[in-house]
Structure 1
């Protein structure tokens, strides 16, 4: 799974090689597989390699390692405006139907949000936000097939009824959830689909991935 460091590293790849990991590997003298692993959070580069990135491309290592900009520094692949938060779009689908297996977790793109918008309008921070794509029509008219939803992965408890991503045996699903004395009510907004209840004893086998807080749709 992507980490904060790997997401910042991906931004460097985006800036220096237009997101092409193979080209970035060639530019910086590493194998493409190694760059893929770094971008996916499966590996960390050596300090010697990071120093080369600074020497050759003036990448701000303070920002890359900590997320904080050095005073006066220009960071390859990162916005100058520290008020922006970048939410990664994962190459996964959340089924609004019978469930969809997660087969890949590559980052397809990044979406920028202003921190004040996230706090004021959505009441979330930018620390654990990700985008996934909705597949299926069981959540119509609320969510449509192809919608991209912003998920706050820090919200894994159902304190109030809302839209969540649920990991079930059949895959990742977008559903309306509510807690009923420990049991979890799983509702499809589309009345053509059946609702169900996950008993308290089975909730550990059906973990909540996060809460859906925003939706983007092509009109």
Structure 2
């Protein structure tokens, strides 16, 4: 199904290759089928691919992802895009209850942030950021069902007690975590849910996906 992003992406294809999707695919290093899917709205490109479009062709990513266009048009001649970073919204849920199995990691949307805001207010660089949606009530009152949390995936080491996104056998969970030697002590802000531990010595991979640094909530 066509959507606003797909229509704007099609305009970029029209602008750069007069609508020739095969030529656009070859020019940008993607398969023709992938470009067709993006234009139809059945697939979303990765952030790395979008950044390559900016680097190579100065595509205005802010316009492409949000519809807000600068004075330069769809192909940007300014440095404004360099001040903006885009955090992908992954099509997964982070359980704040008893666990939600990950259904996949397709990008469903993007959120634009000013780099200065991220650095000044959140203390993050803007790279390796992603949004996931909270499911469940175990982190009440901190997080509610449907909250969208921003995760800094570069922070995979638990330095101090905070809320982290962790991978468990039951799926992704947003939990309060502190590390004591080789164990992660995992708790919920809702006192009705029990605390538990995770022995890092018994796991082949680090279960910490990243640190939750911000929350977006509808009012």
Please give the TM-score of this superposition, normalised by the length of structure 1.
0.70
Partners of 1:33 and 1:139 in 2: how far apart? 42
Q: Which ranges of structure 2 fall in alignment gaps of 5 or more residues?
A: 13-18, 23-30, 60-71
The partner residue of 1:61 within 38, 56, 65 is: 56
Shift of 1:112: 1.1
Asked whether the equivalents of residues 58 and 77 of structure 2 are also in contact (C-alpha less than 8 Å), the reply is: no
Tell me the SS of whatever aligns to 1:197: strand
Asked whether the equivalents of residues 182 and 200 of structure 2 are also in contact (C-alpha less than 8 Å), the reply is: yes
**C-alpha RMSD of the superposition:** 3.4
Partners of 1:131 and 1:77 in 2: how far apart? 26
Tell me the SS of whatever aligns to 1:87: strand
The partner residue of 2:21 within 25, 29, 41 is: 29
Shift of 1:75: 5.5
1:143-164 per-residue CA deviation (whole Å, 9 max, x = no partner) reads 1100000000111000011111
For 1:15, the equivalent position in structure 2 comes to: 8
Asked whether the equivalents of residues 57 and 75 of structure 2 are also in contact (C-alpha less than 8 Å), the reply is: no
Asked whether the equivalents of residues 165 and 210 of structure 2 are also in contact (C-alpha less than 8 Å), the reply is: yes
For 1:173, the equivalent position in structure 2 comes to: 173
Cα 1:74–1:174 shift into 2, 3 Å: same
Partners of 2:77 and 2:215 in 1: how far apart? 24
Indicate whether 1:144 and 2:144 are aligned.
yes
The number of equivalent residue pairs is 182
Q: Which ranges of structure 1 fall in alignment gaps of 5 or more residues?
A: 1-11, 20-26, 45-49, 54-58, 65-72
Please give the TM-score of this superposition, normalised by the length of structure 2.
0.70
Tell me the SS of whatever aligns to 2:34: helix
Moved over 6 A (4+): none
Indicate whether 1:189 and 2:181 are aligned.
no
For 1:100, the equivalent position in structure 2 comes to: 100
Shift of 1:117: 1.0
Indicate whether 1:134 and 2:134 are aligned.
yes
